[in-house]
Amino acid sequence: MSEILLQIQDLSVEFSGYRGIAKVLDRVSLSLRAGEIFGVVGETGCGKSVMAKSVLRLIPEPPGRITSGRILLRGEDILQADNRRLRTIRGNLVSMIFQEPMSSLNPVFTVGNQMREVLQLHRPLDRHAAETTCIDLLRRVQLPDAASILAKYPHELSGGMRQRVMIAMALSCDPDLLIADEPTTALDVTVQGQVLAILTRLTKEQGVTVLFITHDMGVVAQTCNRVAVMYAGHVVEVAEVTSLFAAPRHPYTKGLMACIPTIDEDRETLASIAGTVPELIAPPPGCRFIARCPHAKAVCNERPGLFSVGPDHFVACHLYRSDRRQEEST
């Protein structure tokens, strides 16, 4: 069993708006093992990106606020770190790749200026050594004519090239943890596959642990070792990827799997999950999937814990409570 690199314990985050306070994350807990690629999957608005940004303390305050919990990186609580310590953690220990590189790269500076700034901020390199390192990094992410790319501005590069630049920058300081927040969302399928292959290869070569945020189950199957499924601010299932795809347990996960089209099926319409996501300003007190679940019972008004249903497979659903299963079998 690998050591635990990152632990998220009972993390709650809320955002204030004109309509009230939205409880975007409600007591979320996860553990990442050193060296693994851990996926977090769920539909838009479920809290995936908020959780990822919380790890680096990037939640804007106001309107956001982390109300409870701990985020432990090798035992150190990031939520208790002062600004000086945060500057060390960001980049050196934890790096992040954002969804849209065009909004992450500064449009008025060249790629070379931005890459050198990152390197010289965290490593004692002069300008020449930093530029040589930048060229090597760009070659490692398979960008042709790396020297000329350093002189270009972000708008002169394609989306796939900009994302490769972001990967190179994120891995330049050899972080322990890389957070990839839907890094291929804006890319076409062919470029997406190339970027995922580069990201997977480089993280394995450097032994980096990856927290991979996505809404694409195909990307999860292709890249991740373990996965957590999120719904409306709750973690509803955690499992190894092979186990999850072979036997999903939570009704929401089963619904997601049923919505994936296959070439073997002869049907005119795609399957869908009935109902809508609950309002996070006034969510249901128990299971947040209760209004859409075909198995909902009175007990679902109480929030379920994560129940073990197999080796390294956990489900937040009262259907899998051991005491309830024993009662139903008698």
Predicted confidence band at 268 (pLDDT cuts at 50, 70, 90)?
A: low
Helix 159-171, helix 189-206: angle, nearest 10: 10
Going from N- to C-terminal start, the domains of the chain cover 247-330
pLDDT for the residue 101: 67
Q: Encoding tokens for residue 41? A: 């999957």
Reported as a single tens digit per residue, the pLDDT across 201-217 is 888 888 899 999 998 88
Which has the closest alpha carbon to 195: 150, 161, 170, 154? 161
User: In whole angstroms, how far apart are CA 14 and each of 60, 66, 305?
Assistant: 11, 7, 21
The phi, psi pair for 72, rounded to 5°, reads -100, 120
Range name among 62-76, 238-252, 272-286 with the lowest pLDDT average: 272-286
pLDDT of residue 303: 92
pLDDT exceeds 70 at position 15: yes
Query: 315: which DSSP letter?
Result: E
pLDDT tens digits, residue range 163-201? 889 888 888 888 999 999 888 877 788 888 888 888 888
Convert 112-180 into a string of H (helix), E (strand) and C (coil): HHHHHHHHHHHCCCCHHHHHHHHHHHHHHCCCCCHHHHHCCCHHHCCHHHHHHHHHHHHHCCCCCEEEE
Residue 326 has pLDDT above 50, yes or no: no
Residue 330 has what pLDDT?
A: 28
Q: Give the pLDDT confidence of 95-133 residue by residue, as tens digits.
A: 998 877 667 788 899 999 999 988 888 888 888 888 899
* CA–CA gap between residue 134 and residue 130 (Å, rounded): 6
CA distances from 312 to 226, 227, 306, 315, 318 (A): 9, 11, 11, 10, 18
Burial class, 34, CB count within 10 angstroms (exposed 0-12 / middle 13-18 / buried 19+): middle
